[in-house]
Chain A
Amino acid sequence: MNTAVQSRPLTRAARREARLQATAERVARLPLPESAGWLARAREAALDRLSAMGLPERRDEYWRFTDPAPLVAEAAAPADVFQITDEPLVFSGIDRLKLVFVDGVFDPAASDDLAAEGLEICRLAEAGQTDIHWAQDLYGTLEARGHQPVPRPLGALNSAMASDGLLIRATGKVSRPVSLIYSRKDPDADTSLHHVIRVEPGAEMTLLENGPVAARYSVVTEASIGAGGTLHHVRAQGRDHGRSGITHFYAQLAEEAVLKSFTLSANGRVLRNEAVIWLDGKGGSAHVAGAAMGDGAFHHDDTVFVTHGAPGCESRQVFKKVLRNGAVGVFQGKILVEQPAQLTDGYQISQSLLMDERSQFLAKPELEIYADDVKCSHGSTSGEIDDDQLFYLRARGVTEAEATNLLVLAFLSEALEEISREDLAEEIRVRLEGWLGRHRR
């Protein structure tokens, strides 16, 4: 009997030992997808990274607000497939290149031809053997870079395990969006997707993503934006209630490069969206924004890390969450301004609108600044619908429900403004109005 020993708290070193041991056992059992060439090597390297840091645990500082257990557990919880029948699928009004995944597997028959003007697109599952110089030196590279200063083991797990995904290269200004459509059939699917996006200097593209991917999913996107290049990214994560997922969106920006990324999330058991951005060249601009609507058993986490590594860059983080019936929202956001990054303009806002007392918002906004000539601001608030505004609207004849919706949309508008194309913003607005219409008190 050694109960006395067991009940004593473990030391830090012992805890770390236990974690690495458990991770090693898990790694040994992982069914790595078959691959060859550079991809096989990248997977091995990712596994080594994972083994060195271990899988995340609730007590980790970076997982204090979100329990990683459902994302880490060996078996994924099933999630009913949610059929959207009450509104057109998001982006259906947009002329776009459609690339369809079903339960995390690329479906060429349902997709448009991969050959498109100004683009090279290649499927990850078929890429290992071929020499794709523009993608193979990126795959796993940004994920590896992203472990400093905070380890993101689930990113490494994805690089090792991702069974499918797309490698996309933009060589010119491409106006027609590339649209990744995730659909589900299998209530049990557990999937990892990994995309690589390379925007060459001066090139421009728009990446759309919609749908819930799988019952449980991990999606990593590694984007490298060359000098003067632009990447627009708009993502809507579907409405399936039972699913759990984690995404990592890594982006590095060269001189004068531009990134605009917006994510709409509604429903979902656990959903964590990490964005890791590096402004590496001077004059770059990175905007990351999100609107999340949570009702009931909903846990939504935005974890954002923006590093200003070069002078004269601008970054914005705008995250808004509407929470009701006990939903939980998390925001962890950081702006790191390194010493060379003079004349940085950094902005971060995270706000929640709590529709009742059971819902909660947990926020950890952070600034870390090593340059002396910078302009950085951050703020985080939690509020309710303003009674005076509500009364003013009602006194003009607007019903309480409609007035509430107007105020919720007003609350979200700063995030929606980060969508650069009006037609895409309108697509998102329609989904928000739909959500509000379905969730009247």
Chain B
Amino acid sequence: MLEIKDLHVKLEEEDKAILKGVSLTVEAGKVHAIMGPNGSGKSTLSYVLSGRDGYEVTEGKALLEGKDLLEMEPEERAAAGLFLAFQYPVEIPGVGNMTFLRTAVNAQRKARGEEEMSSGEFLKAVRAKAKELKIDADMLKRPVNVGFSGGEKKRNEILQMAILEPRMCILDETDSGLDVDAMKLVSQGVNALRDAGRAFLVITHYQRLLDHIRPDVVHIMADGRIVKSGGPELALEVEKNGYADILAEVSA
């Protein structure tokens, strides 16, 4: 599904390398988790994959189902099935949440040469998913993320994911800021989407999310590289001992 090969990325504005050779392959149907100390480059990886400005890829490549992601505009990546749940969802005053969702759904459909969703169909779909995520009607009417609490913003990201039905979902710290119940709701939302044709890359600091969303593979990222990969037990090790042991072992 997603194939990242020896990806090197530096900042456009200054000569600072952030990603120093990331390689990672996520197969369809699988859930991979990335953990790693603050500032190790996890969000940068997610931004570069989704096409944000400000980064320069100096080496390596990233393919989504064999297609070169790095050649595409952000909207083309989305239409091709990539989705990023932002670590910091953006507030857009003046744009209603519903308008935003419908515009996004129809833009992606149009890009794929599919028919637009009728407004009846759309409303029904949004209402059903919103209910599952306990997002009330009032939140849907408000401008995108404006006045939403931290946890509400994260749930809104998952609502978008549920409506857009992407094939490759990257979740950047979707669990941070969530209370225990919201974490369950969000995890249920994610698990409901799990199927053989879809893959997840879940960035998190906490084992707790991985209790709900069981990963197939866990990667540890440090200083712009994947330094270790393993099964779910790797997350438990991090939870217990922090990163010190792993990092020491890797550099040894």
A interface residues with partner B (beta carbon < 8 Å): 387-389, 391-400, 402-403, 406-407, 409-414
B84 touches which of A387, A395, A411, A414 (Cβ 8 Å): A395
Could you tell me if A388 and B160 are in contact, using CB atoms closer than 8 angstroms?
Answer: no
The 9 sampled A-B contact pairs (Cβ below 8 Å) are A391-B90, A392-B86, A393-B100, A393-B103, A395-B51, A395-B84, A396-B108, A397-B107, A407-B95
What CA separation (Å) do A410 and B93 show in the bound complex?
Answer: 7
Which chain B residues in 40-62 approach chain A with CB under 8 Å?
50-53
Q: How far is the CB of A411 from chain B (nearest CB, A)?
A: 6
What CA separation (Å) do A402 and B107 show in the bound complex?
Answer: 9
- Residue of A with least CB distance to B80: A397
Q: B79 at the A/B interface (Cβ < 8 Å)?
A: yes
Interface SS of chain A: helix
What CA separation (Å) do A183 and B199 show in the bound complex?
Answer: 60
Known pairs A397-B75, A397-B78, A410-B95; A392 contacts B89 (CB<8 A): yes
Q: Which A residues are in CB contact (< 8 Å) with B50? A: 395
What CA separation (Å) do A412 and B86 show in the bound complex?
Answer: 26
Q: Which B residues are in CB contact (< 8 Å) with A394? A: 51, 73-75, 78
What CA separation (Å) do A303 and B75 show in the bound complex?
Answer: 41
Q: Which B residues are in CB contact (< 8 Å) with A393? A: 92, 100, 103-104
Known pairs A387-B53, A391-B52, A391-B74; A398 contacts B92 (CB<8 A): no
Q: How far is the CB of B64 from chain A (nearest CB, A)?
A: 14
Q: Which B residues are in CB contact (< 8 Å) with A388? A: 90
Q: How far is the CB of B203 from chain A (nearest CB, A)?
A: 15
Known pairs A387-B53, A391-B52, A391-B53; A397 contacts B92 (CB<8 A): no
What CA separation (Å) do A406 and B226 show in the bound complex?
Answer: 39
Q: How far is the CB of B52 from chain A (nearest CB, A)?
A: 5
CB-based A-B contact count at 8 angstroms: 77
Q: Which B residues are in CB contact (< 8 Å) with A399? A: 75, 107, 111
Q: Which A residues are in CB contact (< 8 Å) with B90? A: 388-389, 391-392
What CA separation (Å) do A395 and B157 show in the bound complex?
Answer: 12
Could you tell me if B164 and A400 are in contact, using CB atoms closer than 8 angstroms?
Answer: no
If A397-B105, A409-B95 are given as contacts, then 15 extra A-B residue pairs at C-beta distance below 8 Å, sorted by A number, are A391-B90, A392-B86, A393-B100, A393-B104, A394-B75, A395-B51, A395-B86, A397-B75, A397-B79, A397-B164, A399-B107, A402-B103, A410-B92, A410-B94, A410-B143
Contact with A along B195-228 (1 / 0, CB 8 A): 0000000000000000000000000000000000
Q: Which B residues are in CB contact (< 8 Å) with A412? A: 94
Q: Which A residues are in CB contact (< 8 Å) with B53? A: 387, 391
- Residue of B with least CB distance to A387: B53
Top 6 closest pairs, chain A to chain B, by CB = A410-B94, A397-B78, A397-B108, A396-B104, A394-B74, A392-B90
- Residue of B with least CB distance to A408: B94
Q: How far is the CB of A441 from chain B (nearest CB, A)?
A: 15
Q: Which A residues are in CB contact (< 8 Å) with B52? A: 391, 395
What CA separation (Å) do A406 and B105 show in the bound complex?
Answer: 15
Known pairs A406-B95, A407-B92; A398 contacts B86 (CB<8 A): no
Known pairs A402-B103, A402-B107, A406-B103; A396 contacts B92 (CB<8 A): no
Q: How far is the CB of A330 from chain B (nearest CB, A)?
A: 23
What CA separation (Å) do A341 and B240 show in the bound complex?
Answer: 67
What CA separation (Å) do A226 and B95 show in the bound complex?
Answer: 37
B interface residues with partner A (beta carbon < 8 Å): 50-53, 73-75, 77-79, 84, 86, 89-90, 92-95, 99-100, 103-105, 107-108, 111, 143, 160, 164
> Which of B51, B74, B79, B160 gathers the greatest number of chain A CB atoms within 10 Å?
B74
- Residue of A with least CB distance to B47: A391
Q: How far is the CB of B106 from chain A (nearest CB, A)?
A: 9
Q: Which A residues are in CB contact (< 8 Å) with B79? A: 397
Q: How far is the CB of B104 from chain A (nearest CB, A)?
A: 4
What CA separation (Å) do A413 and B99 show in the bound complex?
Answer: 13
- Residue of B with least CB distance to A398: B107
Q: How far is the CB of A376 from chain B (nearest CB, A)?
A: 23
Could you tell me if A392 and B73 are in contact, using CB atoms closer than 8 angstroms?
Answer: no
- Residue of B with least CB distance to A417: B94
Q: How far is the CB of A389 from chain B (nearest CB, A)?
A: 5
What CA separation (Å) do A400 and B72 show in the bound complex?
Answer: 13
> Which of B52, B94, B99, B104 gathers the greatest number of chain A CB atoms within 10 Å?
B94
A414 touches which of B77, B94, B103 (Cβ 8 Å): B94
- Residue of B with least CB distance to A416: B94
What CA separation (Å) do A338 and B78 show in the bound complex?
Answer: 57
Could you tell me if A396 and B164 are in contact, using CB atoms closer than 8 angstroms?
Answer: yes
Q: Which B residues are in CB contact (< 8 Å) with A402? A: 103, 107
What CA separation (Å) do A413 and B53 show in the bound complex?
Answer: 27
What CA separation (Å) do A57 and B78 show in the bound complex?
Answer: 56
Q: How far is the CB of B57 from chain A (nearest CB, A)?
A: 17
Q: Which A residues are in CB contact (< 8 Å) with B94? A: 407, 409-414
What CA separation (Å) do A413 and B75 show in the bound complex?
Answer: 25
Q: Which A residues are in CB contact (< 8 Å) with B95? A: 406-407, 409-410
What CA separation (Å) do A410 and B52 show in the bound complex?
Answer: 22
What CA separation (Å) do A190 and B104 show in the bound complex?
Answer: 48
Q: How far is the CB of A77 from chain B (nearest CB, A)?
A: 37
What CA separation (Å) do A402 and B75 show in the bound complex?
Answer: 11
- Residue of A with least CB distance to B91: A389
Q: Which B residues are in CB contact (< 8 Å) with A410? A: 92-95, 143
What CA separation (Å) do A396 and B78 show in the bound complex?
Answer: 6
Known pairs A391-B52, A392-B90, A406-B95; A397 contacts B104 (CB<8 A): yes
Q: How far is the CB of B6 from chain A (nearest CB, A)?
A: 24
What CA separation (Å) do A409 and B99 show in the bound complex?
Answer: 12
Q: How far is the CB of A385 from chain B (nearest CB, A)?
A: 11
Could you tell me if B107 and A392 are in contact, using CB atoms closer than 8 angstroms?
Answer: no
What CA separation (Å) do A388 and B93 show in the bound complex?
Answer: 13
Q: Which A residues are in CB contact (< 8 Å) with B105? A: 397
